[in-house]
Amino acid sequence: MTGVNDFSALTFDCYGTLIDWERGILAELRPWADRHGRADLSDNAILETFGATEAACEAASPAMLYPQILEEAHRRLARQWSIRSSADEIASFGQSVARWPAFADSATSLQYLKRYYKLVIISNVDRASFAHSNQKLGVAFDRIITAEDVGSYKPNLQNFHYALADLERSLGVAKRRILHTAQSIFHDVVPAKSVGLATLWINRRKEAGGWGATPAPAAGDAAKPDFQVASMAEFVALHQAHLRGEPV
């Protein structure tokens, strides 16, 4: 493969890649922390602590649906930050995915890419939560695979094996024709590379730096993505450059 136009299907992570989950998470947790006397917590501290806590909840309870993962993460954050959280606050955060906004470039980029690829979601949420996000993305995905379908959460390799089998069976797309596109090195690039998938890193935090709401890769997990851009709009520009025959 020499360019992104050599693939026939794109598998997407959603949250952090297409949906601005960091903005959505902060819109929920920042006012809550402030209300409870924790204005001392920086936005980045909130995001990083959430990311580590959410990943721990997913690993501990892989069969739990994502709204319940968010509720448990909220309880753990409250304990860690010495906050007495109400049942309503916990339940509200559990349903917050519906309020998380899309990145400004997601819908138009997906509509462009739909002309050239099968588009597939491989996401760490449940189907009901994703349905709310899908309304903001403005495109009909060819397949939607969630943690609810698989019974585990990325970076578990089971999610990728499940998706590969599904795509070959339902769309007739072989692994070598799939480009996995995602923001999280921890959840997506490392495990996708380990099962032999080509990867494109949407480095949404290129300007901000750090890992934000996604845990840092484990020591030794140095998987290098095949392609890297800072946004979905840059992905479209890269695709157009490759169509013109410009080198990677």
Tokens representing 76? 């753990």
Q: What gap in Å lies between CA 153 and CA 65, rounded to an integer?
A: 10
Residue 175, CA distances (Å) to 110, 129, 154, 235 in order: 21, 27, 18, 20
Instruction: Of 246, 190, 242, 245, give the one whose Cα is nearest residue 220.
Output: 190
Residue 215 CB-half CA count within 13 A = 19
DSSP annotation of 189: I
Q: What gap in Å lies between CA 87 and CA 95, rounded to an integer?
A: 13
> DSSP string covering 10-45, please?
EEE--BTTTB-HHHHHHHHHHHHHHHTT-TTS-HHH
Q: What gap in Å lies between CA 117 and CA 124, rounded to an integer?
A: 22
- Burial string for 93-116 (b: 16+ CB within 10 Å, else e) reads bbebbeebebbeebbebbebbbee
Is 188 marked active-site? Answer: no
Estimate to the nearest angstrom the gap between the alpha carbon of 63 and the chain centroid: 18
- Cis preceding linkage at 155, omega within 30: yes
Of residues 13, 20, 126, 188, which has the active-site annotation? 13
Would you name the residues annotated as active-site residues? 13
